[in-house]
Amino acid sequence: MSNTIEKVKCLIIGSGPAGYTAAIYAARANMNPVLYQGIQPGGQLTTTNEVENFPGYVNGVTGPEMMVQLQEQAQRFGTDVRDGWVTKVDFSEPMHKVWINDTKELHCETVIISTGASAKYLGLPSEQHYLKMGGGVSACAVCDGFFYRNQEVVIVGAGDSACEEAHYLSKLCKKVTMLVRSEKFRASKIMEERVRKTENISILMNHDTVEVLGDEQMVTGVKALNKSTGTTIEIGATGFFVAIGHTPNTAIFKDSISLDETGYIKNIAGSSKTNIAGVFVAGDAADHVYRQAITAAGTGCMAALDAERYLAAKE
């Protein structure tokens, strides 16, 4: 490890809407923020072709383009944006220690964690192909459902989130086929009843997704296996939604900060504060409910303001 220790007033870990918004506010408050982009610079939005629900973009914007613009805005105000990712932290003392790429040691007065969360996918080669192509695979119905108005879609999942997303899609789409991999829902009874009572939602229990079908560019259907009979069926669809959960990117902090039972960082209600003074959280690393770019950006603002007030109180 390097013997060189760098002192940082405000360290921001992660570079999605939460991280860049925190950087904009921190830079404008003369906190000289240093932002490390992480393994996936720009976060989940870099895999999103079209973003049409972020205020200010009348004609929409691609996810990568939006992240470039946010980064440039943060840098315009003086944010030091760097490549690299955090490999170790020590929050046991007032001066928080963070190691980058196992080589560089930072001593930070404040830390803003905005590492986000990663959607879980089935892992099928065909699923990943059309996900990368931007051709009909999504893990966010609220984000992308609008593009499938009056079309037929398939959604995989059995929990409350899957039921919520299926119900949301039913208001936009001609037909929603829900594939439940077991013989019963994991969702609450009220959510299960809601989808069962929705006329244009067809539920196939005990079905596995075998393959996402398409023309190499766009999704055209889904092949599913009936595990009870061993037969396969093909379901015509232009969209394939995966609603089997998210994994917060917080493992590196598990021994240093309070997490909930699913790994999300706990924050003090109504703030971005964690259980460690001077350490704040923004975006999907703490949000398992909304998971939207606009809410992530809002909490990024909150984190920077909380960090600024924390530093002011120490003066």
Question: What does the DSSP 8-state code read for residue 165?
Answer: H
Cα–Cα distance, 79 to 66 (Å, whole number): 17
Among residues 108, 143, 163, 173, the one annotated as catalytic is 143
Among residues 83, 90, 102, 144, the one annotated as catalytic is 144
Pair of tokens at residue 266: 């706990």
CA 24 to chain centre: 20
Q: Residue 251, Cβ neighbours under 10 Å: how many?
A: 11
Among residues 10, 90, 108, 140, the one annotated as catalytic is 140
Residues in the chain, total: 315
Pair of tokens at residue 65: 């383009």
Q: Residue 9, Cβ neighbours under 10 Å: how many?
A: 15
292: helix, coil or strand?
Answer: coil
Tell me whether residue 301 is one of the annotated catalytic residues.
no
CA 5 to chain centre: 32
32: helix, coil or strand?
Answer: coil
Tell me whether residue 287 is one of the annotated catalytic residues.
no
Residues with catalytic roles: 140, 143-144
